[in-house]
Chains A and B, each alone.
Chain A
Amino acid sequence: MPNPFVLLTSERDGIVVISLEGFLDAHTAPRFEESVQSEMKLGRYRIVVDCEKLTYISSAGLGVFMSFIEEIREQSGDIKICGLVPKVRHTFEILGFHDIFDLVDDVQSAVLRFAGMRAGEGAS
């Protein structure tokens, strides 16, 4: 059975937007991990992850967010997560990720959040 996972990276107002589609599980999470790592290597620490088309996430996918968030925030950046469908949001909530991560409605709102935390002000 194919794992329908698609990852697209773009840029909007100087902010990296990683768009995920399909299943983010132990099979596909390494691709997401590589993508975040490569942005960090380029010194890009303001990242929006657009989950509008993400239909499933397991702890392997959540672990990617967890692994990098501290380093990203230390660099005055953040990962804003947007567009969660109810099923995916539920998995975030099971583990309390909604208390740690900034979950917003859409890419536009996420980009605006970054605009509000300029002047070297990292997320809490």
Chain B
Amino acid sequence: MPPIERKFTLHVPSSTENLALIREFVSSIGAQAGMNDQEVANIELAVDEACANVIEHAYGHDVTKEVVVRAILDDDTLWIKVEDTGRGFDPDAVGEEDLPHLIEQHKSGGLGMRIMRTVMDEVRYEIVPGQKNELHMMKKIQKSRKTHE
């Protein structure tokens, strides 16, 4: 029998004020997936970072724009997709410099991307210049815990 897939979608105006709402949305889905508190916190953080990037950089705080967060949950994985139609960027341009080096250079950018790559099992961008940007993130669901808890 194929795994049952559950889909959730949230549309919010592009304002940092809505980050708390977005976090609540993904936390509920993480909890529904049977993830523990730490994993739920990681998902919440990764999606916050992704959406904050969209609101601040892709849309430049234009509240007339919309951030779309989609989640697809099955037995094994939680996929999160963050969509926007704003300015795209080159994810490969985000460096891997160490923290002391960033501090020395008075740079604090790129931390969000670093968090996403650390806490999620997969992070990839699909960018169609001038049309849409999609960030796909995946977290595997630990089967042993689902069985025993």
Contact = CB atoms under 8 A, between A and B. Distances in A.
Contacts of A69: 103
A38 interface: no
Given A94-B115, A94-B119, A25 B52 contact: yes
Contacts of B119: 94
Interface in B1-51: 15-21, 23-24, 37-38, 41, 44-45, 48-49
Contacts, number: 82
Contacts of A119: none
A18 B106 CA distance: 22
Contact of A25 (B24, B48, B109, B118): B48
Contacts of B115: 58-59, 91, 94-95
Given A3-B20, A25-B19, A27-B17, A62 B111 contact: yes
Interface of B: 15-21, 23-24, 37-38, 41, 44-45, 48-49, 52, 55-56, 98-100, 102-104, 106, 108-109, 111-112, 114-115, 118-119
